[in-house]
Amino acid sequence: MIDKQGIFPVEEFRQIAAAGLLTAPLSRQLGGLGLGFETLHTGEFLLLLKDLGLGNLVIGRIYEGHANALQLVQTFGTTEQIERYAADARSCQKIFGVWNAEATDGVKIISQDNGKYRLEGSKTFCSGCGYVERPFVNGKLPDGTWQMCIVPMDEVETIVDPDWWQPSGMRATVSYKVDFTGVELEQQSLIGKPGDYFRQPWLSGGVIRFAAVQLGGAEALFNATRSYLQKLDRCEHTHQQEHLGKMAIAIESGKLWLQGAAQMVEQYAPIFGGYPEDSHERASLKSLLVQQRPQLVAYANMVRTSIEQTCMDTIQLSQRSIGTLGLLPPEPMERLIRDLSLYLRQPVFDAAITNVGQYVLSETVPAQKLWSL
């Protein structure tokens, strides 16, 4: 069972690498499957993330960050950078990640006279610390803009604070605090232009990834709750039938939301988020119209919001069904609820709902046409 402080799922990620899943987010031209990048495969990708979350939310969380990082590299990186980091994933089986959370001592990027860039400051919630060797560690430039960069963790020295991570759930993500002060990077480690990380629809559209993992966690909790009731022969109780019926409806609704997200992403552009190099001057009329429409971000925020509610409802219904005894180890529900409850606490939840409202209030078309690209 993956639920110990400081114990990363090493063997599980060996199996993921052996199955070719570390390279799966790469485009087919780079030897991957295009999952999470080529939009034709979005449905498959979201189901993969859900199934990883079903198996274990810790693994799903780390893998989602890996796929996110490779999507950012392929979207905003130069040809040389894309080939370089694709080789790291393909040949060296490096795990990528995105470490953006920070407190008041956040990371700053300072240009040096020798052409290199010096990092100062720390990141928090660095999931996979010690095992993720190619994380995005983005920071502020002197002018206040935000620059993406990848730190080769196996080539630099940092100060890791494992005591900072004392969570109730998701313990094996080893999401420590890391001080990067003194790390120097070459120009080739900087990805994209300042501000690219916050560009839409890439930033908000990507929430469908972690929502898929979370839905897998809710499905695992449903399975465990049902097995527990069957083991105790409580399936004939009317209230238990009602609880499990509501849970089944909620989870199936979540699956339909993922299908809708996959269709929306596929219709939007051939690659996730579209082509950032297409300026308004060079873009075709069709491409311009796609870029200017905010449906993808709003729809992704609806998916995120709905699946979070699905997970919260599933937790509450499970707790009502199994009672106190079912919440004691070694029953799996206790761990599943802890992991899922913590993982659900993603940032700017209220802003996500507000974005949906802003979009629908800015439109005059009937509801059935709100999400037509």
User: Per-residue confidence at 38, pLDDT binned at 50, 70, 90?
Assistant: very high
* 273 contacts 295 by C-beta, under 8 angstroms: no
Give the pair of three-digit tokens for residue 248. 């089944």
Asked if the 199-369 domain carries CATH number 1.20.140.10, the reply is yes
d(CA 74, CA 35): 12
d(CA 209, CA 60): 10
Three-state DSSP state, 117: strand
d(CA 20, CA 333): 31
- Taking residues 175-199, report their average pLDDT: 95
User: Per-residue confidence at 53, pLDDT binned at 50, 70, 90?
Assistant: very high
The per-residue pLDDT for 280 is 37
Among candidates 352, 223, 222, which has minimal Cα distance to 297? 352
Q: Output b/e per residue, 28-48; b: 16+ Cβ within 10 A.
A: eebebbbbbbbbebbbebbbb
The per-residue pLDDT for 1 is 57
Give the pair of three-digit tokens for residue 214. 């979370």
- Helix (H) / strand (E) containing 281: none
- 10 Å CB burial of residue 285 (0-12, 13-18, 19+) is exposed
d(CA 370, CA 357): 12
- Judged by average pLDDT, the poorest of 39-48, 249-258, 278-287 is 278-287
d(CA 169, CA 178): 20
Residue 270's beta-bridge partner residues? none
Give the pair of three-digit tokens for residue 315. 């937790």
Straight-line distance from the first to the last Cα atom of the chain, in angstroms, rounded to the nearest whole number:
44
- Taking residues 63-92, report their average pLDDT: 96
* 179 contacts 139 by C-beta, under 8 angstroms: no
d(CA 300, CA 349): 12
**Lookup result for tokens 């409802």:** 313
d(CA 45, CA 51): 10
d(CA 167, CA 124): 13
DSSP-assigned letters across all residues of 128-139: TTTTEEEEEE-E
The per-residue pLDDT for 347 is 83
- Taking residues 333-341, report their average pLDDT: 96
Architecture of domain 10-197: Beta Barrel (2.40)
- Judged by average pLDDT, the poorest of 79-88, 129-138, 201-210, 291-300 is 291-300
In sequence order, which ranges of the chain are alpha helices (DSSP H)?
10-18, 42-55, 57-76, 79-90, 202-205, 207-231, 238-268, 285-292, 295-326, 333-343, 349-362
> What percentage of the chain has pLDDT greater than the value 90?
85
Residue 242's beta-bridge partner residues? none
User: Per-residue confidence at 73, pLDDT binned at 50, 70, 90?
Assistant: very high
Give the pair of three-digit tokens for residue 2. 């993956």
User: Per-residue confidence at 373, pLDDT binned at 50, 70, 90?
Assistant: confident
| Other residues' Cβ atoms within 10 Å of the Cβ of residue 319 | 17
> Which regions of the chain carry the CATH code 1.20.140.10?
199-369
Higher pLDDT, 33 or 235: 33
Q: Output b/e per residue, 216-230; b: 16+ Cβ within 10 A.
A: bbbbbbbebbbebbe
> Which regions of the chain carry the CATH code 2.40.110.10?
10-197
User: Per-residue confidence at 2, pLDDT binned at 50, 70, 90?
Assistant: confident
- Per-residue pLDDT tens digits for 229-245: 999 988 888 999 999 99
Which of 94-103, 280-289, 343-352 reaches the highest mean pLDDT? 94-103
CA distances from 282 to 276, 287, 351 (A): 11, 10, 33
User: Per-residue confidence at 278, pLDDT binned at 50, 70, 90?
Assistant: low
| Other residues' Cβ atoms within 10 Å of the Cβ of residue 303 | 24
Provide CB contacts within 8 A for 267, sequence distance 6+: 373
Three-state DSSP state, 199: coil
Q: In what order do the strands lie in the sheet with 159-161?
A: 122-126, 176-179, 159-161
d(CA 19, CA 295): 35
